[in-house]
Structure 1
Amino acid sequence: MAGAKTNKGRFFEDYRLGEVIAHAVPRTVSGGERALYHALYPARGAIHSSDEFARACGLAASPMDDLIAFHTVFGKTVPDISLNAVANLGYAEARFHTPVWPGDTLVARSEVIGLKENSNGKTGVVYVRTQGHNQRGDLVLDYVRWVMVRKNDLDAPAPNAVVPDLAAVVDPAALVIPTGLDFTHYDFALAGEPHRMGDYAVGEVIDHVDGVTIEDAEHMLATRLWQNTAKTHYDGTLREDGRRLIYGGHVISMARALSFNGLANAQMIVAINGGAHANPCFAGDTVRAWSEVLDMAPTTAPGVGAMRLRLVAVNEAGKAGALRDDAGKYLSHILLDLDYWVLIPL
């Protein structure tokens, strides 16, 4: 039978609650991924840029950027979870457990923890908890995400609806601090800004000022780099307007890099509490970002604090702080709403 050996991806009716999926193709990461990441995004975090700076902060060397680990593990899941996705809807309960170093090999597996068919009978939402491990079996990160997936057989019966109960915020006491991390002798001049955690206030909004116009070529390089094969990012014939949807992780990394201007010392992501891709992003959009300080907490590491931030990516300038309309719906210029914990000098 023609095409019997090819993979058309899973549809909503193909998932089963409790199913564990081992994702194919382990990925060894190296300095090449770091160089390409820093070419794609204006990322300048000192710990992820300099072995010497990282060693002065108690680490063995400069680890890979946190989002390199996230994108790599995420990419492993796409052929099994979101190849036929309409949209990636959100994230929760993400924790970074072990830094990823050049030479590490990452593998991923996911468990289906929720299913809910939509009222139109044509799509449904699949909830998965994904884990990424390194070659030693160490847990690198885990997270929950939920995806709207098409049905192939519209007559397939709807499963019993199960929506997981997810924590709104990762408890700061549960944050995993990299072994040896010490900001006691942190060099603010080399890091790029003088601001420590005590210089910020809960409720403060920071307009990161800068903007980057998204290009199709760069987005396509990013999706290939992370081996993300979701059709909506590759195939311009899927939409009537012929436009490819920009990969949400590309927007996350762009906004995170832009946040350097005002948050240069927010060095390491240790958790993602929640996130939503509020509106689609397309080539030609100019992405800007603003952040809101949501909370602060101490950690057990010397000189290291944890700060909870809301990172918002927008495609219009001059609206820092505006998020939703009076009905509670995201404003049309909001691309990303990401709630996360970072490590920062006290």
Structure 2
Amino acid sequence: MNKEFRIIHHNGWCWLFWSVFFEDFVVGSVIRHRPCRSVDFYDNVLWSSLTLDYTPLYLDREYASRTDFGNVIMNPRFLLSLVIGISTRDTSINTMAFLGIDYERLVRPVYPGDTVCVESEVVNKRESRSRPGMGVVTWVHRAYNQRGELVYEVRRSNLVYRRDGSPWIKFLRGEPVGKAEARPGEGSRPFDYNSMQFTRLGHEQWLGRFLEDFSPGEVIVHRLGRTVYEFDNVLSTVLSMNTATLHFDEEYMLYHDYGRPVVQGPFIVGLACGLSSMDLTMNIAADLGITDLRLRAPVFHGDTLHAVSEVLSVEGSSDPRFGVITVRTRLYKGMMRTEVAEITRKIAIYKKEHTPWRFIWR
């Protein structure tokens, strides 16, 4: 990757800045990012609370102690946000939009007290066919713990500005502001209330769903919704060390295609998992990772999000205590008429007779 340092002289002032645009990326190059980040239990508490993700494996030490992990582990959605955040300055600080991820590998658990270091490999780049002056860059981000062990890997793609079309350069030049916010078209709701079937569990609702309670083809309209505020966006972004200014710099965003700050993508992913957590992960054995993520429309301050999940498959595993569900969760805004994101992931869920709840509530 070509690292460009520029000195700008203006009215007697000298500014040195470094920035990476689409044309600067070289396929095959590897970047080791600084700084690293030590994580703690209260990162989990803050992130999980912000995203309404009440999965016990990340918050409940008693529950987690009775799983194969032996203790609370870091929320994988926080890890996604942190890995992208640490890498942002060297990869996507000039991004137009986060497009999605092709896969996520949770190689080893990350525990409170561990230190996470990140490196990024540029694996692909191409000119945008629909947006002149931009291109799509794909990276594989790898995270390592303090022992040098690979703990996490994710492949993501962003739409990145070329230098000549960059809002940052236009901002520095003081060009006239004329960008209009891109507004996605309104659609219909993803379900027909009159045709919905309501599922009754064979046990108390507060116990959550066990493996036996999931059926392929089942659609779950999750009860929780969440309005996203400026506070959520700024806090989740800085918590993850994310320096992409499209999330918190209103003057810069006047030159951006969106016209105003956009909510960071990993927080949207966290909300998709959080809003669905009460129906999907209350008896979790392990999160097996995201297999596909696509972001369809931007989310701005004041948007309200709701989630709908479809169970794609229910399978057994080599361990008789639990099985694996594959679920696709779609996130909507605008009275559930505009699809924001689609996320597919695999989750290991305990069978009823093996859930840690049997030992906690006797």
TM-score w.r.t. the length of structure 1 is 0.81
Distance 2:149 2:84 in 1: 17
Distance 2:43 2:77 in 1: 11
Change (3 A) 1:194 1:284: closer
Q: Which moved more, 1:265-274 or 1:42-51?
A: 265-274
Structure number with bigger Rg: 2
* Counterpart mapping for 1:1-346 below 5 A: 1-2=7-8, 5-7=16-18, 9-119=19-129, 120-153=131-164, 192-237=206-251, 238-239=253-254, 242-265=259-282, 267=284, 268-317=286-335, 333-346=338-351
Letter in 2 for 1:205: V
Distance 1:39 1:46 in 2: 12
Q: Which moved more, 1:290-299 or 1:203-212?
A: 290-299
Distance 1:239 1:303 in 2: 54
Change (3 A) 1:226 1:4: same
CA-CA distance at 1:153 after TM superposition: 4.6
CA-CA distance at 1:281 after TM superposition: 0.5
TM-score w.r.t. the length of structure 2 is 0.77
Distance 2:16 2:114 in 1: 31
CA-CA distance at 1:135 after TM superposition: 0.7
Change (3 A) 1:121 1:335: closer
What is the percent sequence identity of the aligned residues?
A: 28
Q: Which moved more, 1:34-43 or 1:200-209?
A: 34-43
Distance 1:82 1:266 in 2: 36
Q: Which moved more, 1:236-245 or 1:292-301?
A: 236-245
Change (3 A) 1:302 1:55: farther
Structure 1, residues 20-70: CA drift from partner, whole Å, max 9, x if none? 111111000012312221331222111211111111223321112121222
The number of aligned residues is 298
Distance 1:207 1:316 in 2: 16
Please say if residues 84 and 230 of structure 1, whose CA atoms lie closer than 8 Å, have aligned partners that are also in contact: yes
Please say if residues 115 and 127 of structure 1, whose CA atoms lie closer than 8 Å, have aligned partners that are also in contact: yes
CA-CA distance at 1:266 after TM superposition: 5.7
Q: Secondary structure in 2 aligned to 1:73? A: helix
CA-CA distance at 1:106 after TM superposition: 0.3
Runs of 5+ consecutive residues of structure 1 not aligned to the other structure: 155-187, 320-331
What's the C-alpha RMSD, in Å, of the aligned pairs?
2.1
CA-CA distance at 1:261 after TM superposition: 3.1
Structure 1, residues 151-193: CA drift from partner, whole Å, max 9, x if none? 1157xxxxxxxxxxxxxxxxxxxxxxxxxxxxxxxxx98x943
**Greater helix fraction, Structure 1 or Structure 2:** 2
Q: Secondary structure in 1 aligned to 2:57? A: coil
Q: Which moved more, 1:33-42 or 1:282-291?
A: 33-42
Distance 2:78 2:283 in 1: 17
Please say if residues 97 and 270 of structure 1, whose CA atoms lie closer than 8 Å, have aligned partners that are also in contact: no
Distance 2:53 2:128 in 1: 39
Letter in 2 for 1:147: N
CA-CA distance at 1:5 after TM superposition: 3.8
CA-CA distance at 1:198 after TM superposition: 2.4
Structure 1, residues 179-236: CA drift from partner, whole Å, max 9, x if none? xxxxxxxxx98x9434222221111110002111110012101100001111211112
Distance 1:153 1:256 in 2: 38
